[in-house]
Amino acid sequence: MPVLSYREALRTTLREELLRDDDVFLIGEEIGVFEGSYKITAGLLAEFGAKRVRDTPIAEEGFVGAAIGAAMLGLRPIVEIMTINFSLLALDQIVNHAAKIYGMFGGQSSVPMVIRTPGGGGQQLGATHSQNVELYYAFVPGLKVVAPSTPADARALMLAAVRDDDPVLFLENLALYNTKGEVPDDLRPAEIGKAAVTRPGTDITIIGYSRMAAVATQVADQLAGSGISAEVVDLRSLRPLDRETLVRSVRKTGCAVVAEDDWLTYGIGAEVAASISDGAFDYLDAPVRRVAAAEVPLPYARTLEQAALPSADSLLTAVHQTLAAVGRRR
């Protein structure tokens, strides 16, 4: 089975979708001549030409709007916004147009487009370039929002997103681009809206998405060394949210910790915790704990930035506190 980096999995999948369907094209800032800020689109302009790999001005509202129009007319654009922070400049196009056109026009027109955009801290890019604002989009009916944590999921969810007839926001975390994993050649499109139990366990459920799903797996491996069996649930999709898998896992383990890279207040973890309370309240032996970023604009100084971000250590502490509360401490 081939081992690919997260970056390679995305690039090869984009290439295959361009080859598979002539209606697919790429559009965004510096994706052609410069080959993308993170080199996801390296080599694609040379292979497919400027009609299929379209460089744009630095005008997010403009090129996202152009992609929406192209999608309404039958094409399948894949938009790259250099960082999720810049997507805020296209918020009106994404929230008031891409998400609503199908419903507002009674299904007469769909918007089959993908918006790829990376986010996350840890790269010393400053407060305005290091945010996790996926909650803004997961809040909006009409959008689908996915956040793969592994190269295999990046490929499977990209296949699904490109072929979906609804607009899909495809979240990437900068810290994941160089991570590697096995990616089957015959991997099929994932089911958007389906979480994955990536590690079965019996003592506690750890829930995460994107980078924090990978951190959750590391923590579960560490816990196993001390005899604690942690079940890891990777959300994979933020809208739709797979509440059934979350509830089933917590009903089995009796306690849960949710890890996220965004801020705690009103975050994705709050929705997850509410879902667990709705579906597994009688099974909980302790309140759901949440691990998230410090509620500050992310500092530029590396030591302060690392202190503000959730980590394996902070997640491990929350797990031990939860286990102690239910008398399972070892």
Quick check: is 305 catalytic?
no
Contact of 8 with 15, CB cutoff 8 Å: no
**DSSP code string of 189-254:** PP-TT--EEEE--SSEEEEE-THHHHHHHHHHHHHHTTT--EEEEE--EEES--HHHHHHHHHHHS
5-21 burial, b at 16+ Cβ within 10 Å, e below that, comes to bbbbbbbbbbeebbeee
Query: Which of helix, strand or coil describes residue 173?
Result: strand
Among 60, 80, 172, 231, which one carries the catalytic annotation? 60
Contact of 129 with 83, CB cutoff 8 Å: yes
Residues 6+ positions from 127 with CB-CB distance below 8 Å? 297, 298, 299, 300
> Where does 34-150 have alpha helices with state H?
44-48, 60-72, 91-93, 101-104, 134-138
Q: Are strands 24-28 and 76-80 parallel, antiparallel or unpaired?
A: parallel
203, 205, 206, 208: CA torsion to nearest 10: 160
Closest Cα to residue 214, out of 280, 122, 325? 122
Angle of the 312-325 helix axis to the 211-224 helix axis, nearest 10: 60
Residue 123 has φ and ψ, to the nearest 5°, of: -110, 10
d(CA 92, CA 86): 12
Quick check: is 129 catalytic?
yes
Closest Cα to residue 254, out of 195, 329, 197, 326? 326
Among 8, 129, 231, 260, which one carries the catalytic annotation? 129
The residue type of 216 is: A
Residues belonging to the active site: 60, 129
